[in-house]
Structure 1
Amino acid sequence: MGAPPSKARGLWIQLQKLLTSWLVGQQDWDQRLDEMYMLQQQKIRESPLLRAAKDNDLCVLKKLLLDRNCDFRQRGAVGETALHVAALYDNLEAAMVLMEAAPELVKEPAICEPFVGQTALHIAVMNRNVNLVKALLAQGASVSARAIGSAFRLTPHNLIYFGEHPLSFAACMGSEEIVRLLIEHGADIRAQDSLGNTVLHILVLQPNKTFACQMYNLLLSYDRRGDHLQSLDLMLNHQGLTPFKLAGVEGNTVMFQHLMQKRKYIQWTCGPLTSTLYDLTEIDSWGEDVSFLELVVSSKKREARQILEQTPVKQLVNFKWRKYGRPYFCILGALYVLYMICFTMCCIHRPLKARSGNRTDSRDITVFQQKLLQEAYVTQQDKIRLVGELMTVIGSAIILFLEIPDIFRVGFSRYFGQTVLGGPFHVITITYSFLVLVTMVMRLTNTSGEVVPMSFALVLGWCSVMYFARGFQMLGPFTIMIQKMIFGDLLRFCWLMAVVIVGFASAFYIIFQTEDPSALGEFYDYPMALFSTFELFLTIIDGPANYDVDLPFMYSIVYFAFAIIATLLMINLLVAMMGDTHWRVAHEQDELWRAQVVATTVMLERKMPRTLWPRSGICGYKYGLGDRWFLRVETNQDQNTLRARRYVEAFKGSDKEEGQGHPPEKRPSVTESGLLARASLALPTPSLSRTTSRSSGSHRGWEIIRRNTLGHVNLGLDLGEGDGDDRVYQL
């Protein structure tokens, strides 16, 4: 035989390469990165120019300047120039020599992955080398250069995400001086990267939230100096998110609170009472295509749920739920139950007639069959049932009409995958509606077997009633627990169960394959053997064999092994898996309940007519506050709470200074720490040395009590917003 054609052989080789690259995947990329970095160091050692730039060896660099054969534009293993190397190792003197010898290097980017587009200015900014940044800018370095390599993208594999422009690098590094330098040299504050993120978006994503808030304020102050139709903090990225909404999606509570401080207006403070107006721009979901509340609830990050506990989101959601959400949701649940009762009655009284054919098998027990269409609607009872069937079909069409647009708006994976949004129930509801329509088509076309879609529709329809349990705080989180158990624990367990059942059912079947079928009970054929083994697995029945006759010896051995594996191991494994899920859901019960309330409120608000669900809050236009809506929150802040905390902290602080042998005290929460910090500023106390005795340390605590008792200082007025009762008002 001749050799295969070269074209076919080439296709086969390409297919092998694709398959190999797919199998190796990320591991191959990591290995290539390691090899690339090793090759980079090797090439630096081998190149006199690159080695001199790394070692800051000015003598060698000056000798290379006199060498006409030296190429100052040569690159290393990752596409870097000698100026990149000098900037990487903070060698200012070497960088100055290189810029003098080859001024064009300041604009040269790296040309190889993963650092494509990175310039020496990017590196100097990341190293916070102010002098080098000034030198590069003086030589004409581009402030608009974009680092677009894979090392700078927002992926789980990268440890940092600073955007693409030098300005965003400087802001993320928290270098205020470099930020000002770049802006003075023409850096565009409103520049966006490949994801559409501005520097404010990128700051929201940084782990160092304190620096991020400071840089946020600084950049906004520069943006306000320009003449722009839209503020920088209102610019959208490619996901349609402003920095404020991105903070909610990411669960960045520090940045969220920082931005809310700019949106609140204290009307008055009288004793423990404080009246505050909160700007609801971007918070209220009324009339918005991209709802802030919906984004927070559907976020994959658990930290995002903490946003729902912040003021004024918590108060806004509570107000909407109590006034509109809960009443409408209860009415909707009652209507759905009545609808399901109607559908159930139509199924129970479906048109049947006596079977006319003869039985051909002794196991056939069918006595009724489905009526034809022309026979199904004759009597008065049939006409009443027809009304119910029409209501059922119309209801299914309405359900599909309401559900399908949300699938395209929210996205398939998020709409069906998020348990808080009721994803599994959406799957059940849509499937139920399709089954009802299939039943209608089978009825109209006189197709037999309508009992199949009808029976499934009954089960799914009544299971959907559990969706309305989210209207009750006691039951809502447990519906999520059921969903997690069914679509998580149970699905994983079913794979293991299927393997065990198929194996043992096959063994049981071949053991009884030579025996009399009439004496085998449940093992007379293979499908029945599978079903009987499933029942045996769940301990619904005993060993399905006829013990009045001699059973094969292998049956006892196989049945013994099955009892050990199925009953003792597998069932207890399922119980343990579900117990772990129950424990996790129980610890998140309050968070899940609030998230369910928000998701339900947003869903109802989007679907209800505006006349039945007016906008919440106060319109600022009537009171000279512009075309904005506000929510007034009145808080009752207990002054004694702060005093008690300061007493405890004073005595606890003295104990910590006395010795290291005592167990550490529990650290206060973030809110408590903020309260204590503010309170400590209000009371000028003398500094204590580390050698202070126990009596002098305790004296500090008694001094605080004495001053508060005599009224020398007024403490407890600057409490956080979560320390008192909140009341929400609207006009």
Structure 2
Amino acid sequence: PAIRKLLTDGICDIYQRGAVGETALHVAALYDNVEVAVTLMEAAPELVNERMTSELYEGQTALHIAAVNQNITLVKALLKRGANACTAQATGHFFRRSSQNLLYFGEHVLSFAACVGNEEIVQLLIESGADIRAQDYLGNTVLHILVLQPNKTFACHMYSLILSYDRNKEGPGSLELIPNNEGLTPFKLAGVEGNTVMFQYLMQKRKHNLWSFGPLTTVLYDLTEIDSWAEDQSFLELIVSTKKREARQILDLTPVKELVSLKWNMYGRPYFCFLALFYILYMVCFTMCCVYRPLKPRTGNKTSSRDNTIYVQKMLQVLFPVALSDILRVGAAKYFGQTILGGPFHIIVITYACMILVTMVMRLTSTTGEVVPMSFALVLGWCNVMYFARGFQMLGPFTIMIQKMIFGDLMRFCWLMAVVILGFASAFYIIFQTENPENLGQFYNYPMSLFTTFELFLTIIDGPANYDVDLPFMYSVVYFAFAIIATLLMLNLLIAMMGDTHWRVAHERDELWRAQVVATTVMLERKLPRCLWPRSGICGREYGLGDRWYLRSVLF
């Protein structure tokens, strides 16, 4: 009655908006007041599709709010009076997917209703014209958005409900096969997010029971989107490259576990062992060429000193295009940053190739000093042998442990170490700057002071002392402070940091091993010719299931 009185008296502007761009109808929907909402719509029908205008809630309509509140009566009233269930999109910052937002329901009314799990409202919206194929600013359909919901039980139920309205669910234009902006279908997104519940649910929908005998059942698992043999963006590669640890649990689920085991045992392990043996033989030959390279005495030198020069031929024109194609396919951040994918080793092998190339150029142009890139190449080449440890379960996790310690603990520690060394090296240099250089020559020159302080920091040498002369008193004071800070505190801090990394990696030992096997298998499968790596599984034509490929598994 009060609303009707205000409207008839003309005291209030029915189109007035609030602080966040909301109308009176938005407020009525927010408080689930159906009577007021109906009154407002009768007085001003154009309010039905009015959207909020603030940056935070831009695009939200009363139908969005009613669907989230699961007010079926209000939803019916809004649809009856012309509410648009298809084109209304909530695009405000509040509805964007980010680490700051607590929810992500997409933009469309249908996805809002699906995410809160109200089956009746979802059916009503679809029957009223809501587009089940609508995509938001990330390219996510309602199925993508359901995969991202924390309540996985009702998400699976709503997934099947919405899919039942897809008229082309068996064809190439199926709703399940629509990719988002990152090229991920809902199935691949479940893998990247580590949603094991949704993954198992979708796999159960895809399997076909072949025959049963008592407790024994033979099933065929659809390998579409799973098998990397025919996929540009491999599901297996996506799992091992994601930062979510939960995703690696999928590698232990059927049929992924069986598929990886089949690929690795039949082709991956033999090829990888052959590649490791070939690389070691190559490094032995390269080392022998460097050690026994032709030398000649220096001109005018009566000693036996010799110049270290040699030209080692290596077909580099193949390495760089192959590496470049992988970088473009998976991205530089994943290619170089993911330890499971061998990121640091990619840096090593590319740098090694560059050193070989520099050595060749210097040799061809008769430039002296080629021993520098050659020595770097030898160190990097032999360090890269550790990459092949991933082919062995006992050694594989330790390579990841070393990488995490170097690029995690050691990199952070180096910043602290640099500050300490710069400070104390400068102090030592200042103390001996006006002293006789014969008193303590290790600190008379500033570069030598830095190097000597670095050696002291790592306890490579004992504290330099000259007992034939009286050293400055401040030297003893500064050296005492340096010994306490560097040796007792910082080195033990580094040991503690590395111990923590070892503990964490040790608890993920089995997961890391499986992830390394998958990454190595996918890498070999992409590099080798198809004739050397046949497709795994069974073609569905043998069982009247079309052109899809399946993996046969026996369940008890």
Normalised-by-shorter TM-score class: over 0.9
Find the aligned partners of 1:246 and 1:620 in 2 and give their Cα distance.
25
Contact 1:114-1:151 within 8 A present in 2 as well: yes
- Residue 226 of structure 1, CA deviation: 8.6
Find the aligned partners of 2:380 and 2:212 in 1 and give their Cα distance.
55
Contact 1:521-1:544 within 8 A present in 2 as well: no
Find the aligned partners of 2:439 and 2:382 in 1 and give their Cα distance.
40
1:512 aligned onto 2:453: no
2:123 match: 180
Contact 2:401-2:502 within 8 A present in 1 as well: yes
Q: Larger deviation: 425-434 or 119-128? A: 425-434
1:222 match: 165
The Cα offsets for residues 360-395 of structure 1, whole Å up to 9 and x where unpaired, read as: xxxxx9943356xxxx7xxxxxxxxx6xx22xx21x
Find the aligned partners of 1:196 and 1:74 in 2 and give their Cα distance.
34
1:72 match: 14
1:523 aligned onto 2:434: no
2:407 partner amino acid: F
Contact 1:153-1:163 within 8 A present in 2 as well: yes
2:270 match: 327
1:412 match: 332
Find the aligned partners of 1:431 and 1:366 in 2 and give their Cα distance.
33
Counterpart selection for 2:216 from 248, 257, 273 = 273
Find the aligned partners of 1:366 and 1:193 in 2 and give their Cα distance.
75
The Cα offsets for residues 512-566 of structure 1, whole Å up to 9 and x where unpaired, read as: 2223324424223111111111111111100123233221111111111111111
Q: Greater RCO between the two (CA within 8 Å, min separation 6)?
A: 2
For 1:484-503, list aligned pairs within 5 A.
Answer: 484-503=404-423
- Residue 464 of structure 1, CA deviation: 0.7
1:538 partner amino acid: L
Contact 1:522-1:529 within 8 A present in 2 as well: yes
1:209 match: 152
Find the aligned partners of 1:220 and 1:341 in 2 and give their Cα distance.
59
Alpha-carbon distance change, 444 to 225 in structure 1, aligned in 2, over 3 angstroms: closer
2:63 match: 121
Contact 1:521-1:545 within 8 A present in 2 as well: no
For 1:438-453, list aligned pairs within 5 A.
Answer: 438-453=358-373
Counterpart selection for 1:104 from 46, 51, 76 = 46
Counterpart selection for 1:632 from 546, 552, 556 = 552
Contact 2:168-2:174 within 8 A present in 1 as well: no
For 1:86-485, list aligned pairs within 5 A.
Answer: 86-144=28-86, 145-224=88-167, 230-356=173-299, 367-369=305-307, 389-390=312-313, 393-394=314-315, 396-485=316-405
Gaps of at least 5 residues in structure 1 are 1-58, 360-364, 377-385, 638-731
Q: Larger deviation: 516-525 or 200-209? A: 516-525
- Residue 317 of structure 1, CA deviation: 0.2
Counterpart selection for 2:465 from 522, 545, 563 = 545
Alpha-carbon distance change, 165 to 456 in structure 1, aligned in 2, over 3 angstroms: same
Q: Larger deviation: 232-241 or 59-68? A: 59-68
For 1:630, what is the secondary structure of its paired residue? Answer: strand
Alpha-carbon distance change, 143 to 415 in structure 1, aligned in 2, over 3 angstroms: same
Find the aligned partners of 1:122 and 1:623 in 2 and give their Cα distance.
46
Find the aligned partners of 1:191 and 1:98 in 2 and give their Cα distance.
30
Contact 2:260-2:518 within 8 A present in 1 as well: yes
The Cα offsets for residues 272-316 of structure 1, whole Å up to 9 and x where unpaired, read as: 432211111111000210111011111111111011111000000
Contact 2:297-2:304 within 8 A present in 1 as well: no
Counterpart selection for 1:576 from 480, 496, 499 = 496
For 1:587-602, list aligned pairs within 5 A.
Answer: 587-602=507-522
- Residue 103 of structure 1, CA deviation: 0.6
Find the aligned partners of 1:538 and 1:100 in 2 and give their Cα distance.
82
Gaps of at least 5 residues in structure 2 are none
For 1:269, what is the secondary structure of its paired residue? Answer: strand
- Residue 152 of structure 1, CA deviation: 0.9
Contact 1:277-1:631 within 8 A present in 2 as well: yes
1:615 aligned onto 2:553: no
- Normalization by structure 1: what TM-score? 0.74
2:553 partner amino acid: V
For 1:275, what is the secondary structure of its paired residue? Answer: strand
1:606 match: 526
Contact 1:397-1:433 within 8 A present in 2 as well: no
Alpha-carbon distance change, 548 to 227 in structure 1, aligned in 2, over 3 angstroms: closer
Find the aligned partners of 1:211 and 1:271 in 2 and give their Cα distance.
32
- Residue 268 of structure 1, CA deviation: 2.5
The Cα offsets for residues 472-499 of structure 1, whole Å up to 9 and x where unpaired, read as: 0011011000000000000000000011
1:168 partner amino acid: S
Contact 2:163-2:169 within 8 A present in 1 as well: no
2:245 partner amino acid: R
For 1:276, what is the secondary structure of its paired residue? Answer: strand
Contact 2:169-2:175 within 8 A present in 1 as well: no
Contact 1:523-1:544 within 8 A present in 2 as well: no
- Residue 207 of structure 1, CA deviation: 0.6
Contact 1:73-1:82 within 8 A present in 2 as well: yes
- Residue 128 of structure 1, CA deviation: 0.5
Find the aligned partners of 1:486 and 1:404 in 2 and give their Cα distance.
25
1:368 partner amino acid: R
Alpha-carbon distance change, 307 to 151 in structure 1, aligned in 2, over 3 angstroms: same
The Cα offsets for residues 393-448 of structure 1, whole Å up to 9 and x where unpaired, read as: 21x44332321210011101111111111111111111111111111111111222
1:155 partner amino acid: S
1:251 partner amino acid: G
Alpha-carbon distance change, 369 to 516 in structure 1, aligned in 2, over 3 angstroms: farther
Alpha-carbon distance change, 357 to 561 in structure 1, aligned in 2, over 3 angstroms: farther
Find the aligned partners of 2:172 and 2:82 in 1 and give their Cα distance.
31
Find the aligned partners of 1:152 and 1:112 in 2 and give their Cα distance.
12
The Cα offsets for residues 665-697 of structure 1, whole Å up to 9 and x where unpaired, read as: xxxxxxxxxxxxxxxxxxxxxxxxxxxxxxxxx
The Cα offsets for residues 90-112 of structure 1, whole Å up to 9 and x where unpaired, read as: 11111111111111001100111
Contact 1:522-1:545 within 8 A present in 2 as well: no
- Residue 224 of structure 1, CA deviation: 3.1
For 1:495, what is the secondary structure of its paired residue? Answer: helix
For 2:359, what is the secondary structure of its paired residue? Answer: helix
2:127 partner amino acid: E
Find the aligned partners of 2:169 and 2:202 in 1 and give their Cα distance.
21
CA RMSD of aligned residues (A): 1.8
Larger Rg: 1
Contact 1:521-1:546 within 8 A present in 2 as well: no
> How many residues end up aligned between the 2 structures?
555
Find the aligned partners of 1:306 and 1:270 in 2 and give their Cα distance.
30
